């Protein structure tokens, strides 16, 4: 459909002229990549350090002499990182890692008749080629994982839709691996769904996703409005598309794919027998027997679904899809729901509709150009997350006092102001949303989703920045209080904080998790990381605004600390759910404990945490854990020590006021030794995770956390040596 395209055989060299790519940053932090067509355009819009850095071109930033001490290392680190700040004050960046997102973008666009520009198509092909497993040529669920049916089938399909011939060596090798893994029949349910939409898997091979669940009484504990928002927002369009059994019209490519994806003849496959057929390599959360029982009942219902009921349920689901699009200016919550919503809207309203146009415009926000080609981002960016951390790092280390950093801090504050949500969603209760007034989300104000810890980190950054003597006070006290109201509205009865909303449904609902590739997906859970960000934000806020809801804040913090104590593992660490893994969550937990005065000397919790971390430090002074720690909830060593994790562990020790200097000195030495001669740090292993089983990249962490750790360690070590510290 998108026409033939010439694909070079090797993907090492870029397929397009990388000097022509520009990252446009506008409208409150939107990030979209553009390929300029002519030299004149390139002259008018020259390439800056941000464009060069993220697309992997040499930044040509000056080399600097090696730092003599930790503070100097932090200073030159920030001097480098400042060059990556966008003109609007935020830090842009890649947010790739999962390998099942780009296929959604490609398949969904194909079904909806939404094309890509040729340079985009070429670089998407190149990204997929570059991310093929070096040995077997397949793809995993994320860039560091082994090949799975899910990753391999979906990326294979993407390459074919984007224009690669089935005889290209990359396709040949991948197809061999796919067939060795048993072929696409045993793809996990989300893969079955995408392939069914594309009309290369039969709908009867799927477990039912009936929209009728929306018609159940809202008081029921399993009503879908009570599910984790990510799962809910994927289920809404899925149930709509399933209810209509939407499928792309057959064309030659689709007919060819039916032959290529399977180890047997497509037309001889027993589809209903595939519903629970999931390849072993893919299986992380096997179905419960409760789920299998319900799915069997629902399959019988599908044979006699009551038309008026189905119609009413489809109407309800469609209304929710439209409300979500309008609440988020068509960014939607995340990339999977983005593409399902897009397909649902275009299927219903057509290719000439306003919905098509608006979805297409915002589709660009998910397309990120990296050194290896074009990928799909995990959200429409990590604007707040990256900006919030570095601003706090600069303020907490004394770097903010340096004249040369002032402008970047004022800019950062300006962006944080524009990133704060100031109203509740347009469609609020009717779309089952939590309040957003005063909140920050993970990316931009436009995306419009409160995240507990993003609100916490945003609030902390603003309070710090607005207390510097040279910054304008852009956010009024009233607006800060709105943020506090939002935080307070998010505490759960046991004291912990979840990600986007309150925990609305009982945990046993996880037994109905249909997505075999993810854990903890059905309901919100409390997380040590989220809880911490809220505790620390409230603690810092009340020092500056002591008169606002002091009793509520005190009680909230006290209960949250109780949750944190309870969540500590017997080994002394906390399990990370969003970063890898124990080092990440333990840093957050120790920060919280320190803000209520709990340290190594006086708190058994802090002491156990320190002892745990010290026990994991390596000979070279670093820490290193694999993403597998998150899958298994137990410490699994990485082959190498990691700068980012070393910083998390060292920060944890500093928060806990660990009294011995040697481990800190060794950690500092390692992080300084790994600093490049322009002040940056090279990319190491993947940093983040979600739903236990999928790793995700936070490449800006390699700047914010070393700067933070080194800057803090400088003063910390001085203090331990008994020197005077300002
Ligand atoms: C994110 C990214 C940010 C992350 C933190 C703020 C770090 C976390 O502390 C709270 C949860 C949150 C907001 C988060 C939730 C799940 C997301 C949106 C992601 C990991 C990015 C991608 C992921 C999303 C679910 C990917 C699509 C896959 C599904 C299972 C729906």
Verify whether ligand 1 is closer than 6 Å to residue 194 (CB atom): no
Contacts of 449 (CB under 8 A, 6+ apart): 229, 328, 333, 436, 441, 442, 500
Is the pLDDT at 373 greater than 90? The verdict is yes
Best residue among 100, 236, 379, 705 to mutate for probing ligand 1's pocket (most ligand atoms within 8 Å of CB) is: 379
Contact 230 CB / ligand 1 (< 6 Å): yes
Contact 125, 373 (CB under 8 A): yes
Mean pLDDT score, 539-552: 97
Residue 454 near ligand 1, beta carbon < 6 Å: yes
- β-pair type (373-376, 30-35): unpaired
CA distance 47 to 21: 8
Residue 212 token pair: 């009728």
Give the β-pairing of 623-625 and 688-690: unpaired
Nearest to 470 by CA among 545, 384, 408, 542: 408
- CB-count burial class (<10 Å; 0-12, 13-18, 19+) for 556: buried
Tokens of 238: 């899925």
| Assigned token pair, 206 | 């799927």
Q: Is 453 in the pocket of ligand 1 (CB under 6 A)?
A: yes
Ligand 1 close to Cβ of residue 696 (< 6 A): yes
Which atom of ligand 1 is nearest to 518's Cα? 30
- Read off the pLDDT of each residue in 675-698 and give the average, rounded to a whole number: 98
How is residue 32 written in tokens?
């979209």
Q: Which atom of ligand 1 is nearest to the CA of 336?
A: 27
* DSSP labels, 466-508: HTSTTS---S-HHHHHHHHHHHHTTB-TTS-B-SSS---S-GG
| Nearest protein Cα to ligand 1, atom 11 | 499
Q: For 44-53, how does the pLDDT look when each residue is reduced to its tens digit (9 = 90+)?
A: 999 999 999 9
Residue with tokens 């399909």: 157
Q: Mean pLDDT over residues 470-491, rounded? A: 98
Rounded to a whole number of angstroms, the CA Rg of the chain reads 25
Burial category of 322 from C-beta neighbours within 10 Å (exposed 0-12, middle 13-18, buried 19 and up)? middle
Rounded to an integer, what distance in angstroms lies between the CA atom of residue 700 and that of residue 579?
A: 13
Question: Which of 378, 456, 534, 575 should be mutated for ligand 1, with most atoms under 8 A from CB?
Answer: 378
| Residue 601 token pair | 């000397």
- Cβ(377) to ligand 1 under 6 A? no
- Helix, strand, coil share of the chain (percent; to 5): 55, 5, 40
- To test ligand 1's pocket by mutation, which of 151, 341, 451 has the most ligand atoms within 8 angstroms of CB? 451
Alpha-carbon gap, residue 227 to 501, rounded angstroms: 10
Q: Is the CB of 529 under 6 A from ligand 1?
A: yes
Average pLDDT value over all residues in the chain = 97
User: What is the pLDDT confidence band of residue 172, given thresholds at 50, 70 and 90?
Assistant: very high
Ligand 1 center to 689 CA (angstroms): 8
pLDDT for the residue 4: 82
Ligand 1 contacts CB of residue 442 (under 6 A): yes
Write down the pLDDT at residue 2. Answer: 84
The ligand 1 atom at the shortest distance from the C-alpha of residue 451 is 13
For ligand 1, atom 31, which residue shows the shortest CA distance?
230
| Nearest residue (CA) to ligand 1, atom 20 | 690
Per-residue pLDDT tens for 105-121? 999 999 999 999 999 99
Q: Is residue 267 packed enough to be buried (19+ CB in 10 Å), middle (13-18) or exposed (0-12)? A: exposed
Owner of token pair 């929710």: 320
Q: Is the CB of 499 under 6 A from ligand 1?
A: yes
Give residue 518 CA to ligand 1 midpoint distance, Å.
Answer: 12
Cα 635–Cα 690–Cα 440 angle in degrees, nearest 5:
120
Tokens of 416: 């944080």
Distance between CA atoms of residues 93 and 89, nearest Å: 13
Residue 611 annotated in active site: no
Q: Measured from the CB, is residue 451 less than 6 Å from ligand 1?
A: yes
Smallest Cα–Cα separation from 114: which of 307, 310, 455, 347?
Answer: 347
Which residues is 31 bridged to in the sheet? 25
Is residue 658 scored above 90 in pLDDT? Answer: yes
24 membership: H or E segment, kind and range: strand 21-26
The pair of structure tokens assigned to 381 is 């960016």
Where does the pLDDT of residue 725 fall: very low under 50, low under 70, confident under 90, or very high at 90 and above? confident
Which pLDDT score is estimated for 726?
78
Sequence length of the chain is 726
Instruction: Evaluate if residue 651 carries a pLDDT over 80.
Output: yes
**Cα(688) to centroid(ligand 1), Å:** 10
Q: Is 342 in the pocket of ligand 1 (CB under 6 A)?
A: no
| Residue ranges in 181-334 assigned as alpha helix (H) | 189-197, 229-244, 252-260, 289-303, 307-327
Confidence of residue 343 (pLDDT cuts 50, 70, 90): very high
Mean pLDDT of 521-536: 96
Å from CA of 690 to ligand 1 middle: 6
Q: pLDDT digits over 41-76, tens only?
A: 999 999 999 999 999 999 999 999 999 999 999 999
Task: Tell me the best of 690, 692, 704 to mutate to test the pocket of ligand 1, counting ligand atoms within 8 Å of each CB and taking the most.
Answer: 690
Query: Which pLDDT tens digit goes with each residue over 251-296?
Result: 999 999 999 999 999 999 999 999 999 999 999 999 999 999 999 9
Strands of 331-487 (E only): list them. 367-370, 373-376
pLDDT value at 724 more than 90 = no
Instruction: State which ligand 1 atom lies nearest to the alpha carbon of 335.
Output: 27
pLDDT one-digit tens code per residue, 192-241: 999 999 999 999 999 999 999 999 999 999 999 999 999 999 999 999 99
ipTM of the complex in this document? 0.94
Q: Could you give the CA distance from residue 301 to residue 259 in angstroms, rounded to a whole number?
A: 31
Asked whether 516 lines ligand 1 (CB < 6 A), one says no
Catalytic residue among 453, 469, 520, 552: 453
Rounded to whole angstroms, how far apart are CA atoms 211 and 325? Answer: 18
Helix axes of 335-349 and 307-327: crossing angle, nearest 10 degrees? 120
Q: Is there an atom of ligand 1 within 6 Å of 694 CB?
A: no
Q: What is the DSSP letter of 519?
A: S
Atom index in ligand 1 nearest the CA of residue 530 equals: 9
User: Which alpha helices (H) appear in 568-658, and where do they start and end?
Assistant: 582-595, 604-616, 628-632, 643-655
d(CA 19, CA 646): 35
Is the confidence at residue 1, as pLDDT, over 80? no
Quick one: tokens of 621?
């002074």
- The pLDDT value recorded for residue 3 is 81
């Amino acid at each position: 459909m998108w026409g033939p395209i010439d694909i070079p055989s090797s993907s090492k060299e870029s397929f397009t002229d990388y000097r022509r790519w520009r990252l446009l940053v506008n409208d409150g932090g939107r990030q979209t990549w553009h390929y300029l067509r002519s030299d004149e355009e390139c002259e008018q819009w020259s390439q800056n350090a941000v464009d060069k850095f993220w697309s992997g071109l040499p930044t040509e930033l000056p080399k600097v002499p090696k730092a003599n001490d930790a503070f100097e290392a932090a200073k030159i680190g920030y001097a480098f990182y400042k060059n990556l700040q966008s003109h609007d004050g935020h830090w842009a960046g890649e947010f790739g890692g999962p390998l099942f997102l780009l296929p959604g973008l490609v398949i969904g666009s194909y079904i909806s008749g939404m094309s890509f520009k040729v340079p985009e198509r070429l670089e998407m092909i190149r990204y997929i080629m570059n991310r093929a497993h070096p040995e077997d040529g397949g793809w995993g669920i994320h860039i560091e994982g082994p090949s799975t049916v899910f990753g391999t089938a979906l990326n294979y399909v993407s390459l074919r839709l984007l224009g690669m011939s089935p005889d290209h060596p990359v396709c040949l090798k991948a197809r061999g691996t796919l067939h060795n893994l048993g072929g696409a029949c045993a793809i996990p349910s989300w893969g079955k769904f995408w392939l069914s939409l594309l009309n290369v898997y039969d709908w009867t091979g799927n477990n039912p996703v009936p929209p009728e669940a929306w018609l159940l009484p809202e008081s029921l504990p399993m009503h879908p409005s009570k599910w984790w928002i990510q799962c809910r927002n994927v289920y809404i369009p899925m149930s709509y598309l399933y209810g209509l059994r939407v499928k792309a019209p057959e064309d030659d490519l689709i007919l060819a794919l039916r032959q290529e994806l399977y180890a047997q003849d497509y037309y001889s496959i027993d589809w209903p027998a595939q519903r629970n057929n999931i390849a072993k390599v893919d299986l992380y959360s096997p179905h419960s027997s409760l789920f299998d029982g319900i799915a069997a009942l629902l399959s019988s219902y599908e044979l006699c679904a009551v038309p008026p009921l189905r119609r009413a349920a489809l109407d309800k689901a469609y209304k929710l899809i439209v409300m979500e699009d309008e609440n988020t200016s068509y960014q939607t919550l995340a990339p999977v729901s983005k593409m399902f919503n897009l397909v649902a809207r275009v299927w219903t309203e057509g290719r000439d509709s306003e919905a098509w146009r608006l979805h297409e415009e915002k589709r660009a926000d998910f397309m990120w150009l990296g050194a290896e080609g074009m990928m799909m981002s995990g959200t429409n960016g990590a604007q707040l997350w990256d900006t919030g951390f570095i601003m706090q790092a600069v303020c907490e280390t004394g770097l903010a006092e340096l004249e040369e950093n002032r402008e970047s801090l004022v800019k950062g504050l300006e962006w944080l102001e524009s990133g704060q949500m100031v109203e509740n969603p347009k469609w609020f209760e009717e779309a089952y949303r939590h309040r957003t007034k005063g909140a920050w989300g993970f990316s931009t104000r436009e995306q419009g989703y409160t995240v507990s810890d993003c609100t916490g980190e945003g609030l902390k950054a603003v309070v710090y920045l607005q207390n510097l003597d040279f910054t304008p006070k852009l956010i009024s006290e009233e607006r800060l209080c709105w943020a506090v109201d939002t935080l307070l509205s998010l505490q759960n009865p046991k004291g912990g904080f979840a990600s986007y909303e309150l925990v609305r449904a009982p945990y046993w609902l996880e037994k109905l998790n249909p997505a075999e590739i993810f854990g903890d997906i059905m309901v919100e859970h409390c997380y040590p990381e989220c809880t911490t960000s809220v505790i620390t934000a409230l603690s810092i806020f009340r020092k500056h605004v002591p008169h606002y809801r002091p009793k509520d804040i005190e009680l909230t913090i006290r209960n949250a600390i109780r949750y944190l104590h309870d969540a500590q593992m017997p080994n002394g660490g906390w399990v990370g759910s969003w970063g890898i893994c124990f080092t990440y969550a333990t840093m957050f937990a120790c920060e919280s404990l320190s803000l209520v005065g709990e340290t190594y000397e006086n708190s058994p919790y802090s002491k156990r945490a320190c002892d745990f971390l010290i026990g994991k430090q390596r000979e070279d002074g670093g820490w290193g854990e694999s993403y597998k720690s998150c899958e298994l909830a137990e410490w699994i060593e990485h082959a190498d020590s990691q700068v980012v994790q070393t910083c998390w562990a060292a920060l944890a020790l500093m928060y806990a006021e660990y009294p011995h200097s040697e481990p800190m000195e060794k950690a500092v030495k390692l992080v300084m030794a790994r600093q490049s001669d322009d002040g940056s740090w090279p990319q190491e292993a993947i940093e983040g995770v979600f739903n236990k089983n999928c790793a995700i990249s936070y490449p800006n962490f390699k700047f914010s956390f070393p700067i933070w750790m080194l800057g803090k360690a400088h003063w910390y070590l001085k203090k331990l040596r008994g020197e005077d510290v300002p």
